[in-house]
Structure 1
């Protein structure tokens, strides 16, 4: 992304890099400081950081001035050696739902919504419950690690069922999904991105085989909806189906929900009074703790926008073509909107104002599915394991990720 550097040197030194210390462990100290400053350029990210709630809402509410065309990176914007691998493997790239502006966005969003409709989510509830119980049945020895042994396989099962991927392909699909994440991450080593690009050729061939099958034999899944369309909208060309499935659905639908589940469990286990309420009245309490965890520990760090004209935002003049990174995790702890923002308050009256799923035109279409997954995962876990506690000496550590904030592990005992 080309950036016009019109900030003074003091601002330019105020950088943000979520891959390394101290921002990897706790970005919130940085966010708090950033909210006191004008919108500032991050040399590492290559974009202006938007950290205040009102500034982010102003961007989300004005899609004509702040285009979504750069919401997620383009894999073909990688270094030449990475692009060479992508081209050799004929990996397609088109826009996704999150990168589209109106009017094209309307068709893609309608198709996406049809793939995760309320009826579709309800039909998957038995799948969620069965998978959660099956995973808990595997716990042995009085301890478990809930990221790898619970959240990851649980969410894999659900999102693959939504898309229409065969269950037996889950492990390989996850490897490819991680590769897409690597290619989006401009801070990842180039050698890692080259290897990921090479593997994406195999993923492309696999996806095409799934698309071809649904074109001939439609099913009740996301691939079929994208290929065949709905009563109101035609289906999409194959290249668009590739991009939406591998990125907007499989990456976003997996990482964010995995991290939201473990963040919510951690909040409950770190607060004895909350854990007591979860045990006493699980239905209402789990809904409350979920929303507060989504606010306090937003699993999605943020998305990009690009200015379509010269604008002023947060005390900074931004020329046309300026890239912005909207840091939802910062907005969710903005003290001007959420009182005592670092604390956990289950009865926070405005908790649903959080931006964990975005707002406006590009609010996350998968939010109802994610909330259902979190609810079922927690209900099943705490119902089956009322004595669940954090392991002795456990301290949370976080993954090195460009777009997502999630626990590396969650060690528990009972």
Structure 2
């Protein structure tokens, strides 16, 4: 085991641009990262092997749990009555199958279509309000747009969106095993407040059903019975995180990538209705907004030339698999005509493929098409260089800007 071959997405090169590391990792057997405490799975074929075999590679470790970080964190969570129910992404077997059926029923094509008018109105409103002198497309466009849509889909539109976001951010901190004890204790207190809010919402929806996901989870849909309150809590918290961060990042990366590639920019602007979809598909591969999730090895096995004893933890590097030259020729080139771009792993694959994929795709397309139509002269501010948040497992490409990086004229 080569302990010098390490990966730490929280700092340095691995934070700002991990693709050089990914390329080196794909040339090696599956390797262990001391910083993460997990084996890194970087090749497309190996990733698909793991995703297709949930019996050998359990999802129980997909996300770190909020409980178990420390006695102080656990005490704060218990005082706040935060349920210990695992996120659906951590479920295996019958538990996952049942919950997933109810969740999929809540993400129907009808619901996606019902959200389109809200998407178009909100995107147009935000695009119109961008200053021609400079705008931050994360803070002023992508984030408020996605926040509006995910809250509308769930049924949280009556709440204070800033407060919901604070609680959702606390959920992300609670997942991060590299966060400080102080930060995780504060996040636990925030999750207690979130639990109180969600229980009040659940009780109200139990009495008065609405056309939203919370109601479907409580009452059931398509002939399926509803879920327990604790399970509803975990799904809402999980969907609110997954539905916000990754979609916000995907929108901003599609725009950034377009503005950094003049030929693609000209082609898309000549025919946005046809080419935005091609651009979105290729950017989801080229700049995956989802770093990956963990898996737990349930039996002694071998993967990618490495023996893995039962109990080993894996980190699935979807961003690396999407740049695997054996699957995607010339992977570092943006190619709007790439025939197999749709085989990317931005939404995962197999049993745990993202249930919100149809909503996310609709959000990205509406947000990008609306922005390009409303602001055809959009360009990067001179000498602007993007910086990237420290992220343990969600998105390395969350484009956090400083100042005013875009001209909207």
Which TM-score band (shorter chain)? over 0.9
Alignment partner, residue 39 of structure 2: 48
State which of 371, 384, 390 in structure 1 corresponds to 2:361: 371
**Coordinate RMSD, CA, aligned:** 1.1
Q: What is the number of equivalent residue pairs in this alignment? A: 404
What per-residue deviation string (whole Å, max 9, x for no partner) do you get for residues 29-73 of structure 1?
A: 111111111111112211111011000000011111111111111
Query: What is the 5 A alignment of 1:14-413?
Result: 14-247=5-238, 249-403=239-393, 404-405=395-396, 406-409=398-401, 411-413=405-407
What per-residue deviation string (whole Å, max 9, x for no partner) do you get for residues 343-400 of structure 1?
A: 1000011101100001111111111110000000011000111111111111111111
Runs of 4+ in 1 over 4 A off after TM superposition: none
- Given the superposition, is the C-alpha separation of residues 272 and 20 from structure 1 closer, same or farther in structure 2, using an over 3 Å criterion? same
SS state at 2:400 partner: coil
Structure 2: distance between partners of 1:361 and 1:187:
28
SS state at 1:356 partner: coil
SS state at 2:39 partner: strand
Structure 1: distance between partners of 2:381 and 2:223:
52
Structure 1: distance between partners of 2:282 and 2:134:
26
Structure 1: distance between partners of 2:28 and 2:205:
51
SS state at 2:314 partner: strand
Please give the TM-score of this superposition, normalised by the length of structure 1.
Answer: 0.96
Please report how far the alpha carbon of residue 231 of structure 1 lies from its aligned counterpart in structure 2 after TM superposition.
Answer: 3.7
Alignment partner, residue 4 of structure 1: none
What per-residue deviation string (whole Å, max 9, x for no partner) do you get for residues 301-332 of structure 1?
A: 00111111111001111111111111100000
Structure 1: distance between partners of 2:12 and 2:133:
33
Does the 8 A contact of 1:93 with 1:240 survive in 2?
no
Does the 8 A contact of 1:107 with 1:233 survive in 2?
no
- The unaligned stretches of length 5 or more in structure 1 are 1-6
Does the 8 A contact of 2:154 with 2:214 survive in 1?
yes
- Given the superposition, is the C-alpha separation of residues 345 and 141 from structure 1 closer, same or farther in structure 2, using an over 3 Å criterion? closer
Please report how far the alpha carbon of residue 167 of structure 1 lies from its aligned counterpart in structure 2 after TM superposition.
Answer: 4.6
Structure 2: distance between partners of 1:43 and 1:379:
43
Does the 8 A contact of 2:290 with 2:346 survive in 1?
yes
Please report how far the alpha carbon of residue 168 of structure 1 lies from its aligned counterpart in structure 2 after TM superposition.
Answer: 4.5
Structure 2: distance between partners of 1:237 and 1:176:
21
Does the 8 A contact of 1:115 with 1:162 survive in 2?
no
SS state at 1:41 partner: strand
Alignment partner, residue 3 of structure 1: none
